[in-house]
Chain A
Amino acid sequence: MKFGKYILVFGITAVLFISAFILSSFLNVRKVENLRLLQDSLSLDLLSTEARFALLKESSCDSVSAETLLSQELGTLGERVAYMENQLGSENNDVIQLKKYYTLLESKEYLLIQELSKKCKHILQPILYFYNNEECDDCTKQSYALSGLVEKFPNLRVYTFDVSLDSPIVRTLKQMFRVDTTPTIVFSGVTYEGFQSLEDFTKLLPELAKEKAKQEAAVKTTTKTQ
C-alpha cells in the first residue's frame, strides 16, 4: 500500500478547496469596488439633485416631483452593503468604510427630503431608524416591521443608522435626537424608543393612511369609469 498517493490526493484536494475561498475573496474585492463606484454615482446624483432643487426653488411644486429627484438606488446599495457586512464581518475595514459612506449618503438624502417637504407638500416622509447589530433582539423585529411599512406606504423613506458605527454623522444624529437605546425611531421630529409595531406606526401616520385610502378610492373610480 502506498501512502504517497493518499498525501498527493490530500494536496490536490486542499488546493481545490482553498481555491474556492480565493475565488470568493477575489469576487468580494470586486464587489467592494463595485459598491464604491455605486456610491460615487449616488453621491453625484445627490449633488445634481441638490443643484436642480436649488434651481427649481422659485418654480412651482408641480415640476418638483420627489420620485424624479431622488434615486431609488439607495435602497439597493443598503441591501448590498448589509450583504457585504454579512460576508466579510462588521469588523472588516472595507465594510466600515462602505457603511460610513452609505450613512453619509443617507443623511444627505434625508436633509434634501426635509427641504423638499417644507416647500412642497409632498407626501414623502423620512423615518430615521437607529439599530445595533449586537445585543438588540428587537432590532430584527423592528426591521421586519419597517420593511412591511414601506411596502404598505411607498411614500415613506426609511434611513437606517448603525449606532455602533464610529461615524461623526451617526454621533451627531444620536445627539440631536437623544438616541440612547436601540431600536429607536425618529419620525416627524419625535423620538420613539423601543420596538414599534406595524399597528403603532399606522396610528402615527394618519395622514399617510388617509392619503393612501384616497388614492385607492381614486383608482377604483377610474377602473369603474373605464
Chain B
Amino acid sequence: MSAGLIFIYVVIFLAMYVQIFFLLTFIEKRKSIIVKNILVRLAHFPLISIIIPCWNEEKGIEKTILSLLALDYPKDKLDICIVDDGSTDGTWAIVQKYITHPSICAFTKENGGKFSALNLGLTKIKGEYVACLDADSRVEPDVFQKMLPRFTDPAVMAVIPAAILEHPETLIQRAQKVEYTMAVFFKKILSILNGLHVTPGTLPLYRSEVFAKIGNFRPGHQGEDMEMAFRMHAARMKIDQVHDAVVYTIPPRTVRTLFRQRTRWIYAFLNNLIDYRKMLFGSHGNFSWFTLPTSIISIVAVIGVFFFSIYNIISYITKAVARVHFGGFHPTYFTPNFDLFYFGSPTIFLIVFAYALVFCSIGIGYYMVEKRLPLSYNFILFVVVYSVVSPFWIMKAIYKVAFSRQMAWR
C-alpha cells in the first residue's frame, strides 16, 4: 500500500470521526435542538446596545438599519451605535439620514480596522447586553427575543444566532448557502459542546461584563471575532448558539471575493491558534480537544487530498501520453468504463460513507433552518466549488502566516 493511500485512509477516518461525533451529539441532544416554535415572552427587556462598524457599506447599511428599527423589541431598550470607520463612499451620508432617530447614534473616525470601530462603539454605549452587526446583514424581528432566554444560564456570556443566506444569486452564493446551512448544524453542536471558536459579525450578543472582564476587541490578525471567542474560552466563558434566531447575510458573489474572504479567515484562525497554542489539548474541554484539533485536521486534510488528487491526475495524464506515444491514438482508450465489475474498492466505499455522513449534516442543517430536506443541486455546486478552490485559499493563508505578511482587509 502506498504512503499516499495510507494518508488518504487516515484523512477519511478522521473526517468520519468528526462527522460521527457531530451526529452522535445531535442524537443525544435532539430533543433540545429541535425546538417547537414557541416564542418565550420575556418578563423584562434589558437594554441592548448594537454596534454597527462600517467601512464603505453604502449598498447595505440602510437595509441593516431598517431591519434593526423593525425589531420586535421596545424601542427605548435599543441603542444602535453606528461607527463609520473612515468610509470613502456615501456610507456616512446615508447614516446621517437616521441620526435624528432617538435609538440611533453615529460616529465617524479615521480608518483603523474593524476592531477599532467596535472599540469606539464600546466606549459610547451603556447597554446591559452588547451586540455587533456587520453592515451587510439583516435581522429577523424576533431575533433578540429568541436569544435572550439563553442568558438565564449564568455561565453563558455570549449567544450567537444562525447566519443564513436569503436569496443566493450567483453559483458561488448557491454553493455557500449549503455551507452556511450546514454550519448552523455544526455551530449548534459546537455550542452544546461549548466549543464555538468564533463569534461572527452576524449579531453576536455579549453580556457587557465580558468586555469589563477580558477587555475590548483586539486586531486578532483581522479576525477580531475569532480572537474574542478564543479569549472568552481562555477565560472559561461559555458561548451559546440559538439556531432559530435568524440573521441574513450577503456572502461574496464571486470566486475572487470568496477567495479573499476565506484566505483572511484561515489566516486569522492560524495566527490566533499560534497565539493561543497553549489551549490546544489543554484544559479547556471540547474547545481544546475537539474544536481546535478538528480545524487543524480539516486544513491538513484539504491540502493532503488536493496533492493526492494532483498526483493522481498527473499520473493519469502521464499514462495517457505514454499510451498514445507507444500505441498511437485510439478513442477507445479514453471512453470511460462503466462495468460494475471494476467498482468496489475500499476507497470507494469509504468515500461514499464519508459523503453520506456530510449529507446527513447538511440534511439536519436544512431541517433546522428551513424545515425541509436539501433536495437541490446546490449540494453538487458546494462539493465542486469547495473541493476545487478551498485548497488554494488554505495554502495562500499558510504561506502568508509563514512569511508573516500583512493581509489587505479587502
| Residues of A in contact with B (beta carbons under 8 Å apart) | 1, 5-6, 8-10, 12-13, 16-17, 19-21, 23-24, 27-28, 31, 34, 80, 83, 87, 140-142, 144-149, 151-152, 197-198
Contacts and interface: CB of A to CB of B under 8 A. Distances in A.
Contacts of B124: none
B21 A24 contact: no
Contact of A24 (B13, B285, B322, B344): B344
Contact of B346 (A1, A20, A83): A20
Contact of B24 (A8, A24, A142, A147): A8
Given A144-B323, A145-B327, A151-B328, A21 B346 contact: yes
Given A16-B353, A149-B327, 7 more contacts: A13-B17, A16-B16, A17-B13, A20-B346, A24-B349, A145-B326, A151-B327
B97 interface: no
With a 10 A CB-CB cut-off, give which of A9, A23, A87 has the most chain B CB atoms. Answer: A9
Nearest to B15: A13
Contact of B344 (A28, A144, A198): A28
A152 B341 CA distance: 27
A145 B325 CA distance: 8
A144 B17 contact: no
Interface of B: 12-13, 16-17, 20-21, 24-25, 285-286, 289, 322-323, 325-328, 330, 332-333, 341-342, 344-346, 348-350, 353
Given A23-B349, A24-B345, A13 B327 contact: no
Given A9-B24, A12-B24, A148-B330, A141 B322 contact: yes
Contacts of B289: 1, 6
Contact of A80 (B332, B341, B353): B341
B327 A9 contact: no
A6 to B, nearest CB: 7
Contacts of A142: 326
Given A1-B285, A21-B346, A140-B322, A148 B341 contact: no
Contacts of B333: 147
A148 B326 contact: yes
A1 B195 CA distance: 11
B16 A24 contact: no
Nearest to A195: B326
A34 B13 CA distance: 31
A149 B326 CA distance: 10
23 contacts: A1-B289, A6-B21, A6-B289, A10-B17, A13-B13, A16-B16, A17-B12, A17-B13, A17-B16, A17-B350, A21-B346, A23-B346, A23-B349, A24-B345, A31-B341, A31-B344, A34-B341, A83-B341, A145-B327, A147-B323, A147-B327, A151-B332, A198-B326
Nearest to A6: B289
B20 A13 contact: yes
With a 10 A CB-CB cut-off, give which of B285, B289, B322, B345 has the most chain A CB atoms. Answer: B345
B228 to A, nearest CB: 23
B332 A24 contact: no
B240 to A, nearest CB: 18
A87 B326 contact: no
A24 B285 CA distance: 38
B327 A20 contact: no
B330 A20 contact: no
Nearest to A17: B13
Contacts of B13: 13, 17
Contacts of A16: 16, 20, 353
Please list the 9 inter-chain residue pairs (A to B) with the smallest Cβ-Cβ separation, ordered nearest first.
Answer: A148-B327, A20-B349, A144-B326, A27-B344, A151-B330, A144-B327, A24-B346, A148-B328, A1-B285
Nearest to A87: B345
A144 B325 CA distance: 9
Contacts of B326: 141-142, 144-145, 148, 197-198
A6 B25 CA distance: 11
With a 10 A CB-CB cut-off, give which of B24, B330, B344 has the most chain A CB atoms. Answer: B344
Nearest to B194: A1
Contacts of B328: 148, 151-152, 198
B20 A12 contact: yes
A135 to B, nearest CB: 19
Contacts of B25: 5
Contact of A9 (B21, B323, B325, B349): B21
A151 to B, nearest CB: 4
A153 to B, nearest CB: 11
B16 A13 contact: yes
A31 B341 CA distance: 7
With a 10 A CB-CB cut-off, give which of B13, B332, B341, B345 has the most chain A CB atoms. Answer: B341
B322 A144 contact: yes
Nearest to A141: B326
B350 A20 contact: yes
Contacts of B332: 151
